[in-house]
Amino acid sequence: MAIKRFDAASWLDSPWSRRRLDLAQFAEERVAVQQICARVAAEGDAALREYGLRFDGWAPGASESFEVPSGELESAARRLAAPDRAALEFAAQRIREFHEAQVVAAPPAGKKGLKLLARPVRRAGLYAPGGRAAYPSTVLMTAIPARVAGVKEVVLATPPSADGTVPPAILAAAHIAGVDAVYRVGGAQAVAAMAFGTASIPRVDVVAGPGNIYVTLAKREVFGSVGVDGIAGPTEVLVVADGGARPDFVAADLAAQLEHDPLAWGVLVTDSPKLADRVVEELESLVGGLERAQVIRAANCCVVVADDMTQAMSLANDFAPEHLLIVAEDAMRLASQVENAGAVFVGPYATVPLGDYTAGPNHTLPTSGAARFASPLGVHTFMKRTSVLSLNRGDLEMLREATVRLAGMEGLSGHAHAVEVRLE
């Protein structure tokens, strides 16, 4: 593997430490996505049928629909192998319990007559990638928080096979998570359909869920017409480890994340040159035996040797990783120093794949440094807030002078008049 090695100074001086989501390199893809979104907005189902045939090899015939017949969701769950269904239900329960803890009571009223309302959106649209693999975990991680938030209608779009079928695991997960409808539409056209609405697919208020570069660009394109959970870049893990960490554990977590994507990131930051050497050796040995070795070898892998663990944590906060794994003698103390990370995994047994599937916290996380300002997908993704002002004449008199003066400072005499006329 082409593993790049740095000390702290050379790492900070390197563009590798300042990776970001650069969508400018996808100019051709963006033009294509803009055209797709515009056509879906203008032509609705007709555009979806054309793009379905072109990109997925399937579109509904005259007697068919984009929607999977509702009975097939429950049927898929019944037909799923018992251990597979049990795994989905186990994961769903843990995800549900974690997200139920995110539901908070209405904030207390502030000054008399002022309050903030928190309400769920009416309809959420979710996207589950398809194609070479099915991702039922994504269905659980997006649909369950929406349901916990109280969203009345939850719909899912996912690419069909060339025969119009959807993987049974996706349908079973949708049934377990409480999805109302599954639509056989993929890519940018699916995002556009949910954002703008068509005769077959209802317009939603929020679109959430991961996808390829076309899905990512489409979410960026439709944002403003609809809310989105975020604009995701390649997946990433940063491991902070001291000299006592097991190198095979660290190598395993790096490989697990790197196998997602040739653009994925795996970074080890350690105060031990010896551990750094051992992890590189373990990673080289491990990768050769993995099915996705070619993907892992193409991904971005770096080792940074810091002066001490304090500096290591500083470098981690600066990088703001999607996944941060801390393996050290005083891992909990170091975890208390985390400022920027999508999800933090503490200790040698808190391997990141547990967070991908069954631990409970969401696996849809901010990437490319967005953890500096963004949060994991959760109940809040499907909530909106509305301020309420209930004011009487006494309130108006009390607020009058400052309001009129500020309106005058901004040259907005109509604003001042709307106050004054009520007190004439």
Q: What residues act catalytically? A: 322-323
How large is the greatest C-alpha to C-alpha distance in the chain, in angstroms? Answer: 84
Alpha helix locations (H) across 259-376? 273-287, 293-298, 309-319, 331-335, 352-357
Among 66, 223, 54, 88, smallest CA distance to 156 is for: 66
**Residue 287 · residue 295 · CB < 8 Å:** no
Return the beta strands (E) in 23-130 as ranges.
Answer: 114-120, 123-127
**Residue 419 · residue 396 · CB < 8 Å:** yes
Q: At what angle do helices 168-177 and 71-79 cross, to 10 degrees?
A: 110
What the block records as the tokens of 151 is 């969203």
Nearest-Å Rg of the Cα atoms of the chain is 25
Stretch (H or E) spanning 243: none
What the block records as the tokens of 208 is 């959430």
**Residue 266 · residue 254 · CB < 8 Å:** yes
CA distances for 423 relative to 393, 410, 419, angstroms:
8, 21, 7
Q: Which residue has the tokens 């790197």?
A: 258
Is residue 173 helix, strand or coil? helix
Cα–Cα distance measured from residue 334 to residue 313, given in angstroms and rounded to the nearest whole number: 7
Rounded to the nearest 5 degrees, what angle is found at the Cα of 129, between the Cα atoms of 153 and 374?
A: 75
Per-residue DSSP letters for 126-170? EE---SS---HHHHHHHHHHHHHHT-SEEEEEE---TTS---HHH
**C-alpha dihedral, 157 to 163 to 165 to 168, nearest 10°:** -130
What the block records as the tokens of 408 is 């005058």
**Residue 100 region by backbone torsions, left for phi larger than 0, else alpha for psi between -120 and 50, else beta:** alpha
